[in-house]
């Protein structure tokens, strides 16, 4: 398979923009497309071109990365009336780095293969901070030879890239990740509200328990944001909600009872009713605070 040189990006939001920058700074010839063109304009200063249409983006790209919100968005971008699939050259590759349905991913990969377009599902973990630093964890599904061809591109955006197996397994692994993230984050919120109710020093509490068996990325990185009232999004509540919906839908097909995940989604449901949909997932503490009748903040 030919070496990837020209890379297209669809989606230049909180994750896609820094990922595109990192790819460009690693030497790839990057062109981006966003439905709202002005959101992509700042990328020009990094030598990145901005396409006016998906067709323009697709026609010369060796690989196209999609980084959009949900399963219907991915299908529209790739297979819709103005989608990239009908314009991509034979032998090119779609790398979907969104988080979507594993089963839909496998089906989509098969349809693209019929047009001599290969596909990887390569969802990421690490939030906007990982995207900025090029330190994302990337979980990949797809054929071995396609993974090998795309590995240098993936390495421009992440530090831990793991090939999990055939198409759909990257998405399955990302959902495993989200089960762990959501459950841990809910526990962090509950723990900090518990500590606040007992008049603990919250900064010292995080320091004390974070170096022991209770330590986690969520506690170390999002715990301090919770107690400072910093709800700027690294990963938005509404997107975590979408991911947990995918988890629960997939679990239902296998008759799995996901008690912790279901409760975590309930906390996030409440956070959305409190107006936190577009805030970072650390805003889940607002739900715990609401029921406890106190605000856990370090003065």
Return the active site residues.
174
H helix runs in the chain, sequence order: 16-25, 54-59, 71-79, 102-113, 127-133, 144-155, 169-197, 202-210, 217, 223-228, 237-253, 259-273, 285-292
Going by their DSSP bridges, the two strands 136-141 and 63-66 should be labelled as unpaired
- The rounded distance, in Å, linking the Cα atoms of 138 and 162 is 6
27 SS3 class? coil
Task: Give the DSSP letter string of 263-299.
Answer: HHHHHHHHHHHTT-TTSBGGGGHHHHHHHHTS-----
């Amino acid at each position: 398979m030919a070496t990837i040189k020209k890379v297209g990006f669809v989606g230049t939001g909180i994750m896609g923009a820094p990922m595109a920058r990192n790819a460009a700074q690693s030497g790839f010839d990057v062109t981006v497309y966003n439905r709202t063109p002005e959101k992509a304009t700042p990328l020009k200063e990094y030598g990145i071109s901005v396409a006016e249409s998906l067709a323009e983006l697709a026609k010369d790209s060796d690989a196209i990365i999609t980084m959009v919100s949900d399963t219907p968005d991915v299908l529209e971008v790739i297979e819709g009336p103005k989608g990239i699939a009908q314009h991509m050259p034979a032998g090119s590759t779609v790398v979907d780095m969104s988080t979507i349905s594993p089963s839909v991913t496998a089906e989509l990969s098969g349809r693209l293969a019929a047009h001599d377009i290969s596909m990887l599902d390569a969802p990421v973990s690490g939030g906007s901070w990982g995207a900025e630093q090029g330190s994302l964890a990337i979980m990949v599904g797809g054929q071995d030879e396609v993974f090998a061809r795309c590995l240098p591109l993936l390495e421009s955006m992440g530090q831990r890239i793991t090939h999990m197996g055939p198409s759909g397994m990257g998405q399955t692994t990302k959902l495993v990740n989200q089960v762990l993230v959501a459950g841990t984050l809910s526990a962090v919120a509950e723990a900090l509200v518990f500590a606040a109710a007992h008049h603990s020093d919250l900064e010292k509490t995080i320091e004390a328990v974070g170096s022991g068996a209770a330590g986690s990325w969520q506690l170390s990185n999002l715990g301090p944001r919770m107690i400072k009232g910093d709800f700027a999004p690294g990963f938005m509540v509404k997107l975590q909600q979408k991911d947990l919906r995918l988890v629960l839908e997939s679990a239902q097909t296998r008759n799995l009872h996901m008690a912790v995940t279901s409760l975590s989604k309930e906390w996030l449901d409440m956070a959305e009713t409190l107006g936190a949909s577009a805030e970072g997932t650390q805003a889940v503490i607002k739900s715990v605070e609401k029921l406890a009748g106190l605000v856990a903040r370090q003065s």
